[in-house]
């Protein structure tokens, strides 16, 4: 059963990706991901996100299956992060939306979409900073003290005491990067709510940077745990 389940999940996920690549049909995505994408670009968006789904399907098998060698876990993490990044960047590149907000349509503008761009950016940046503190503050603490206890205990239970401060530094740096990515993503999202089509270039660049930094930080966190002989799962 522990082999059949991940294999089935992986095949289903990859199969959906193959369908999107072959047909060019974007309707498997949430509608807000492609609502503002020009009709001519939708088949391209479908194929790009379909390729990401195929990568996600393979990573599920690599991460969960107990029949594969341990190094497949590392491959699965890298592939999963890259696949998610590819899909998010594809949506941004094709002028889609990564999220939806109440009242963000042309005919029914809510509070946030009705704000001026500077005001909206300030609100989103403030929200991002407040949320980012939950990752940046623990990250700074881990670097300053070498204390790994903010992590789940199973992440470091097998790590040698001599390597615990190094693990804390690596994880802390990645947590700070997560916070920066969150702030950048929120600022970029403010541009997507401007009502301008196509979405402003600066917004796409900021969101692209946020996605890449987020994926790099997650990969770094997972990679550091594996490198220092920790465990990703309890």
Q: For residues 16 and 76, state if they share a domain.
A: yes
Q: Clarify whether residues 81 and 166 are in a common domain.
A: no
214 belongs to a structural domain: yes
Is the pLDDT at 108 greater than 50, yes or no?
no
Is 98 inside any structural domain? Answer: no
The stretch 74-95 carries a mean pLDDT of 86
Helix (H, G, I), strand (E, B) or coil at 161: helix
Please name every residue paired with 109 in a beta bridge, in sequence order, or none if there are none. Answer: 104
Give the rounded percent of residues in the chain with a pLDDT score beyond 70: 88
pLDDT computed for residue 231 by the predictor: 83
Identify whether the C-beta of residue 21 lies closer than 8 Å to the C-beta of residue 44.
no
Average pLDDT over residues 163-179: 95
Domain boundary among 43, 64, 93: 93
Which residue blocks in the chain are alpha helix, DSSP H?
4-23, 31-34, 42-64, 71-93, 111-114, 117-145, 153-156, 164-192, 201-227
Q: 69 and 135 share a domain? A: no
Confidence at 107, pLDDT banded by 50, 70, 90? very low
Per-residue pLDDT, averaged over 113-127, amounts to 83
Asked if residue 32 and residue 128 are part of one domain, the reply reads: no
Range of the domain at 87: 4-93
pLDDT reading at 234 higher than 80: no
- Among 4-8, 32-36, 125-129, whose mean pLDDT is lowest? 4-8
Considering the domain boundaries, does residue 99 fall inside one?
no
In a domain, 139, yes or no: yes
pLDDT at 153 over 70: yes
Q: Is residue 66 part of a domain?
A: yes
Place of tokens 């796409």: 204
Q: pLDDT at residue 165 above 50? A: yes
| Between 64 and 30, residue with greater pLDDT | 30
Q: Compute the distance between CA of residue 225 and CA of residue 53 in angstroms, rounded to an integer.
A: 26
For range 199-226, the mean pLDDT: 86
**Is residue 234 domain-resident?**
no
* Total tally of structural domains belonging to the chain: 2
- Predicted local distance difference test score (pLDDT) of residue 199: 72
Is residue 41, in this structure, part of any structural domain at all? yes
Q: Are residue 169 and residue 80 in the same domain, yes or no?
A: no
Looking at the structure, tell me whether residues 14 and 77 fall in a common domain: yes
Pair (52, 159) in one structural domain: no
Any domain includes 156: yes
Same domain as 83, residue 12: yes
23 compared with 92, residue with greater pLDDT? 23
For residues 60 and 145, state if they share a domain. no
**Three-state SS for 119?**
helix
């Amino acid at each position: 059963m522990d082999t059949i389940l991940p294999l089935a999940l992986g095949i289903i996920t990859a199969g959906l990706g193959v369908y999107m690549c072959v047909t060019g049909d974007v309707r498997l995505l949430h509608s807000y991901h492609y609502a503002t994408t020009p009709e001519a670009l939708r088949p391209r968006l479908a194929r790009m996100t379909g390729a990401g789904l195929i990568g996600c399907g393979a990573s599920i098998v690599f991460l969960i299956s107990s029949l594969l060698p341990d190094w497949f876990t590392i491959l699965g993490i890298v592939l999963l992060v890259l696949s998610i990044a590819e899909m998010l960047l594809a949506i941004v590149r094709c002028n889609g939306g990564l999220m939806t907000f109440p009242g963000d349509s042309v005919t029914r503008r809510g509070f946030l979409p009705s704000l001026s761009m500077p005001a909206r950016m300030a609100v989103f940046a403030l929200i991002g900073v407040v949320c980012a503190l939950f990752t940046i503050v623990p990250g700074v603490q881990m670097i300053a003290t070498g204390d790994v206890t903010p992590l789940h205990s199973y992440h470091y239970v097998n790590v040698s005491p001599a390597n615990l401060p190094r693990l804390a530094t690596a994880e802390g740096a990645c947590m700070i990067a997560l916070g920066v990515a969150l702030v950048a993503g929120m600022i970029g999202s403010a541009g997507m709510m401007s009502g301008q089509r196509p979405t402003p270039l600066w917004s796409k660049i900021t969101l692209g940077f946020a996605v890449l930094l987020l994926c790099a930080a997650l990969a770094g966190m997972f990679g550091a745990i594996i490198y220092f002989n920790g465990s990703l799962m309890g």
